[in-house]
Amino acid sequence: MNPYNLQKFKPIGIALLCLFGLASCNKSGDSKKENGGVKEMLGLNTVAATETDSLYIRDYISQHKQFKEHEDLIYLFYGDRDYRLGWFKGSDLVAESEKLLSTLDNASQEGLDPKEYKVVAIDEMISQYNELGRKDSARLELQQQIDIALTATYFNYASDFYRGRIDPRNVKQVQWGVRNNKIKLHKALQTILRERESTYPYYEFEALHKGYSDLRDALQKYRELEEKGGWAKVELGNRKMLVKGDTAAAVVSLRQRLNLGTQINAKDPAMRKFDDKLEAQVKAFQELHGIVPDGKVGGNTLRTMNVPVEDRIQQIMMNMERWRWIPKRLVPKSLDQKYIWVNIPEYKLYVYEDPSNSPEAEREYKKTMEMNVIVGKTMHSTPIFSDRMEYVVLAPYWNVPNSIVEKEIAPGIMREPGYLDRQNMEVVTKERNPKQVDPGSIDWSSVTEKNFPYMVRQRPGPKNSLGTMKFLFPNEHAVYLHDTPTGSLFSQTQRGFSHGCVRLERPMDLAKYVLKDMPEWNESRIEETINGGEEVWITLPKKVQVYLVYFTSWVDEDGNVHFRDDIYGHDKRLEQELFS
């Protein structure tokens, strides 16, 4: 028993001394009977296990292989408590056990299968335990079994709930390089059992991110739609498209699709008319699905409307899984509490900030900026990872990757001798202070990505592919955020045009934001430096957390559920892992 427990039970200890003192003063021949009565009154004849041991745990796990995966966590939990039981006080189960079992029963609300966590019939074990007499020695072993079963079951569930059903680091095809979610589940369990304080809502068995909780609420709504039959396909008949002003039977089915749960009188002529209100609903649908909001129904809009509710449910569940992979602490303590979030399928960048000093779990990161971005083409997909921005580079050189040198630059030079000059490019050595190399001295027909010993770079200027600035968070992918001279592409709805880097719609806004703690770098000086045409590196006083993520479904601030196309096929691969 630890000192806190001794302090807690001091009055009981005094009472025990008094009672036993009275009993010892009894000189009659019935002293043993009197002592027995005192023990009976105090419950000291009750058989109750107070601890277990590593050998017993090992034997128990060997009989239940489904607990084997988290064996290390089980030993950590019991080792930290000198193998004292966790779910009992004396011979009685603590209330937290009921909360755990109730959570397991409702696991489907989290997109999880309750049957996965019912390795042993804990409810039956508890009933059997309660039926045994308090003096029955069989209770001792059953008590240990219940305690270990509850602990192991918690780890099975909590691992899926907090860290994900699959570990993206161990599943290559998932392609997720965001920093690890390093949640310590044995510490979380200590919090649940009220033995440790935490700013995170472990005791409530609650999620760590609002993005997850919002999708969980959406999941319930879509499941209710599924129970009611989902939605019928919109059939256009002989038409290729429906537009405002059309009158047709197909308009009725369109109206039904966009007004789920509302009774539509198909015989009412007004319901067959594609009016202003229906056009507004179509545009709202298109906005929520990343489609050009032209109010016309056909092609991609029709295809998207006819995606079955079952598919949308799976899509929501897959994105809930991705939220489980996001670190519980979005921004490390050592950094300013701000982060840049690029959602690749949405073609959007957001900046979130919380200047308060509140605990991490209570922080409310507010959106302070958003802008459109251009991401990689399917063949040059932008990787999913996280890192820390360290530098802003003004009037940058573009160091052309060797893969592009082989596939684009070398063929261009062979077609046109003046290609490099026209692109404002030069060939230099790969060293700290590069020296120029005569491009005529190179056999461009033999150049490959792996054998090219030099570097092709594009000089600063209006033709530079990186535009006026770039934002570096050094990483193995050589990916960064940057300006672009082709601003017209931001008007496109589908913006996959780059070789993997992320192009920014308003780079000056981001530059002013990340440099705001360096007042000497105001907008005027930034522009002056860019116009000078000489590359300048600025080291940020504090690194900024950056996430490049892949969410094809999310809920916005107004509660609207968004869906996007699986532009790189990541959903398809994750679907195979989760549902096949």
Per residue in 333-342, pLDDT tens?
889 999 999 9
**Lookup: tokens for 53:** 């041991």
Residues of the chain above pLDDT 70, percent: 91
- Which pLDDT score, from 0 to 100, does residue 309 have? 98
201-186-79-151 Cα dihedral, nearest 10 degrees: 90
Phi and psi at residue 395, to the nearest 5°: 50, 55
- Which pLDDT score, from 0 to 100, does residue 8 have? 35
Q: Which helix (H) or strand (E) holds 340?
A: strand 338-343
- Which pLDDT score, from 0 to 100, does residue 13 have? 39
CA distances (Å), 421 to each of 407, 438, 486, in order? Answer: 18, 12, 20
Whole-angstrom distance, CA of residue 23 vs CA of residue 17: 10
Mean pLDDT, rounded, of the chain: 90
The residues carrying an active-site annotation are 482, 501
Residue 298 or residue 493, greater confidence: 298
- Which pLDDT score, from 0 to 100, does residue 11 have? 38
Q: Residue 542: which pLDDT band, with cuts at 50, 70 and 90? A: very high
Residue 221 has pLDDT above 80, yes or no: yes
Q: What is the DSSP letter of 461?
A: S
Phi and psi at residue 319, to the nearest 5°: -80, -25
CA-based max dimension of the chain: 119
Tens-place pLDDT, residues 10-63: 333 333 333 334 334 344 444 434 444 444 444 444 456 689 999 999 999 999
Are the C-beta atoms of 301 and 138 separated by less than 8 Å?
no
- Which pLDDT score, from 0 to 100, does residue 1 have? 39
123's CB contacts (< 8 A; 6+ apart) are 101
Q: What angle do CA 530, 531, 536 make, to 5 degrees?
A: 35
Whole-angstrom distance, CA of residue 349 vs CA of residue 547: 10
For 494-517, what is the mean pLDDT? 96
Q: Residue 159: which pLDDT band, with cuts at 50, 70 and 90? A: very high
Secondary structure of the chain: what % helix, strand, coil (to 5)? 45, 15, 40
**Domains defined for the chain, CATH in brackets:** 54-193 (no CATH), 231-307 (1.10.101.10), 329-396+468-549 (2.40.440.10), 397-459 (no CATH)
Q: Which residues face 341 on adjacent strands?
A: 350, 547
Tens-place pLDDT, residues 546-572: 999 999 999 999 999 999 999 999 999
Residue 3 CA to its chain's centroid (Å): 41
**Separation of first and last alpha carbons in the chain:** 49
- Which pLDDT score, from 0 to 100, does residue 199 have? 82
Tens-place pLDDT, residues 346-399: 999 999 999 776 766 667 899 999 999 999 999 899 999 999 999 999 999 999
Residues of the chain above pLDDT 90, percent: 82
Residue 4 has pLDDT above 80, yes or no: no
Q: What is the DSSP letter of 247?
A: B
For 456-477, what is the mean pLDDT? 95
Burial of 552 (0-12, 13-18, 19+ CB in 10 A): buried
Phi and psi at residue 176, to the nearest 5°: -135, 110
Residue 195 or residue 417, greater confidence: 195
Q: Residue 522: which pLDDT band, with cuts at 50, 70 and 90? A: very high
Tens-place pLDDT, residues 253-291: 999 999 998 999 999 999 999 999 999 999 999 999 999
Q: Residue 2: which pLDDT band, with cuts at 50, 70 and 90? A: very low
Q: Residue 111: which pLDDT band, with cuts at 50, 70 and 90? A: very high
pTM: 0.88
555: three-class secondary structure by DSSP: strand
5's CB contacts (< 8 A; 6+ apart) are none
Question: Which phi-psi region, left, alpha or beta, contains residue 286 (left: φ > 0; alpha: ψ -120 to 50)?
Answer: alpha
Whole-angstrom distance, CA of residue 107 vs CA of residue 156: 12
